[in-house]
Structure 1
Amino acid sequence: MRTVILRRSLVALFAAAVALGAVTQAQAEDLRIGYQKYGTLVLLKAKGSLEKRLAEQGVKVQWTEFPGGPQLLEGLNVGSIDFGVTGETPP
C-alpha cells in the first residue's frame, strides 16, 4: 500500500516538474543573475560558459554586480534579478 502511494506521489511530482519546466522555458528569455565582486559566480561569469550553454536554448544572461549580500537580497525581493548567491566573506 505504501509503495503504491509513493509511486503515485512520485509520478505526480514528476508531472508537476515537467509542466513547470515547460512554462518556465516558454517564458524565460532573459536570466538576470546578481553577483558580488569576490563571489564564486565571478568565476562562472569570467569563463562565459553559462552564456554559451544557455544561448543554445535561446536564453540571454544578464549579470548585475552588487556591493554586498543585503543589496543582492533586496534585488531578489523586488524582482530585479532572478538568481544570486550571498554569504561569502570579503577578502
Structure 2
Amino acid sequence: MDIWDTACQELLAEVAKAKKSDTLPSENARGFWTEALTAFEHGGNECVAGAGKKDEAQASAGIREVQKGISRLAAAVSMIKSDLEAK
C-alpha cells in the first residue's frame, strides 16, 4: 500500500502540472485530454485516501479509475499524432 500511495501522490503532482499547461497541439484531442486528467485526479485521490487508511478496496478503485484515464490519454495522443501528421 505504501508503494501505491507514493505512486498515486506522484501522479497527482504531475496532473497538477499538466492542468497548468494549456498547450495541446490538437484541439480535437482536448476532450480526451481533459477526461484523462479528470480520471487521473479522481483516481489518484481515491488511491491516496485508500492507501492512507489501508483500505485496499478504495485504493484499488482509485487505480481502476487511473487505468480509465490511461485509455483516454492514449486516445488523446493518437489524435494528436494524427493531427500533426495531417499538417
Normalised by the length of structure 2, the TM-score is 0.27
Rg comparison, structure with higher value: 1
| Structure with the largest fraction of helix | 2
| Structure with the largest fraction of strand | 1
Normalised by the length of structure 1, the TM-score is 0.27
